[in-house]
A = this chain, B = another copy of it.
Amino acid sequence: MPPPVARFRLRVTAGDAIFVGPGKISLLEAIRETRSITAAAKSLGMSYRRAWVLVDELNRSLASAAVASAIGGEHGGGSVLTELGHELVDVYRRIETTAARACAKDLGRLLQLVAPEKTTSRSAGKKPSSGRAPR
């Protein structure tokens, strides 16, 4: 098993509706990179249909679209991020980075609490074989 990690997932929700979350942001990043919903879906192991639905949902929920059709180009089209799409990705990722940095110490402590023997920051000298406390 890989070593434990503490990770933030950021979502913008209203009631039960999820406007933006890690899935949509990863998809936007993949579209930014591949300039194609088809290629982006493939790179994420997602069906084209699923990717299309997510993009459509996102575009509808925003005041203006995050993904637009590219005009012309070598392969005659494809998809690109709009200015809003770019800013959405950038702000979202910046928040994750800022949060992780601001909480670095407590995140380390959390990992230590959860898996003291699997993290490198545990106090030296503690016996790894001290066993489980009674439950």
Contacts and interface: CB of A to CB of B under 8 A. Distances in A.
Interface of A: 1-15, 17, 19-20, 59-65, 68, 82, 84, 87-88, 91-92, 94-95, 98-99, 101-103, 106-107, 109-111, 113-118, 130, 132-135
A82 B8 CA distance: 25
A91 B115 contact: no
Q: Is the interface of A mostly helix, strand, loop or mixed?
A: mixed
Contacts of A88: 110, 113-114
A30 to B, nearest CB: 19
Given A95-B110, A99-B99, A110-B92, A7 B1 contact: no
Contact of A133 (B65, B111, B113): B65
